[in-house]
């Protein structure tokens, strides 16, 4: 582009002469500045538009992922509640594990996307308590002394 401009300036220089060429270039300079500013603004606007589009795309992906996490959390929670109700008559200890702190901890992981150490401790304690209670309940009673 610069070489084309130099060719045109050389042709003008041959036709107009150095004094008239200097006047013509000085008259052309404000127009070139305006065109340059226009191009700079257009590029800035294009870059800003591309940034907005990329940001919107990131937000859309984040929203889709959050909705998928909510649906997965809902399905897991409903399945655990259903299983807890189903086994409640035969294995109450398993029902307590399915419907207790483990259900709340999993829902918190899926919905809020975080897990605290206290949640995991509560799940472990509930599981241990349920297993201890189940093992005591399943022991056969000792025969009474004669």
| Per-residue pLDDT reduced to its tens digit, 50-99 | 999 999 999 999 999 999 988 988 898 899 899 989 988 888 777 877 88
Contact 122, 105 (CB under 8 A): yes
Segments making up each domain of the chain, as ranges: 2-138
Query: What is the arithmetic mean of pLDDT over 131-146?
Result: 63
- CB count, 10 Å around CB of 39? 10
Query: What is the arithmetic mean of pLDDT over 24-48?
Result: 86
- CB count, 10 Å around CB of 102? 21
Task: Return the DSSP state at 100.
Answer: S
* Per-residue confidence band for 138, with pLDDT thresholds at 50, 70 and 90: low
Task: Return the DSSP state at 87.
Answer: T
Give the model's pLDDT for residue 79. Answer: 92
Whole-model pTM: value is 0.56
């Amino acid at each position: 582009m610069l070489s084309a401009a130099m060719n045109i300036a050389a042709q003008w220089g041959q036709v107009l002469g150095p004094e008239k060429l200097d006047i013509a270039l000085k008259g052309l300079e404000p127009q070139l500045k305006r065109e340059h500013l226009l191009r700079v603004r257009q590029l800035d606007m294009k870059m800003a538009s591309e940034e907005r589009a990329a940001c919107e795309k990131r937000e859309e992906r984040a929203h889709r992922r959050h909705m998928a996490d909510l649906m997965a959390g809902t399905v897991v929670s409903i399945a655990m509640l259903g299983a807890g109700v189903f086994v409640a008559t035969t294995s109450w200890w398993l029902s307590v594990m399915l419907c207790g702190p483990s259900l709340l901890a999993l829902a918190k992981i899926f919905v809020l996307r975080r897990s605290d150490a206290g949640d995991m401790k509560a799940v472990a304690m509930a599981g241990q308590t349920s297993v201890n209670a189940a093992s005591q309940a399943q022991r056969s009673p000792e025969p009474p002394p004669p």
